[in-house]
Amino acid sequence: MKTDKINRRSFIKTASIGLTGFFVWLWYAMVGKQKQTAVKKRVVVALENQQKVFFNDDLVIIQGEQPLVLSARCPHLGCRINKLEGNNLICPCHGSSFDLKGEVLTGPAVRPLKALEYTLGSDGKQLIVDL
């Protein structure tokens, strides 16, 4: 008479694979739910009487023929960039610097600032950004 016994090693292996699969599924379910419930934030900025470069909440706005809107969050660790030295945007946390196009000049950041899409208000004097 043959009995199929499961030994300790195969039980632990099977249980580990099952638990790992469960936690991977749980992680993706939580991340997916977070993306679905993320609230969009609309920022409206008046362009009248502003400097060439100015900071507004999580935005860096560079005015020119065509405004350029960059995220004010440093891609290194997410600190808010709020300082302009000459023509360089400076992160106050670790000293990364960026040019006025958002490209990295000095690290520790290795990625450029994220350019954000915007629309102009009907009067052309307001900039509307959905974060």
- Give strand pairing partners of 128: 44, 119
Give pTM, 2 decimals. Answer: 0.64
Residues 34 and 70 grouped into a single domain: no
Q: Whole domain around residue 119: which residue ranges?
A: 42-130
Residues 30 and 51 grouped into a single domain: no
Structure tokens at 21: 């699969």
CA distance 109 to 106: 7
CA distance 108 to 3: 62
Residue with tokens 């440093």: 74
Cβ pair 50, 61 in contact under 8 A: yes
pLDDT digits 0-9 by tens, 8-56: 888 898 899 999 999 998 888 887 766 665 557 778 887 776 678 888 8
pLDDT digits 0-9 by tens, 89-121: 999 888 899 998 999 998 898 899 998 888 888
What total number of domains does the chain contain? 2
Confidence class for position 1, pLDDT limits 50, 70, 90: very low
Residues 8 and 29 grouped into a single domain: yes
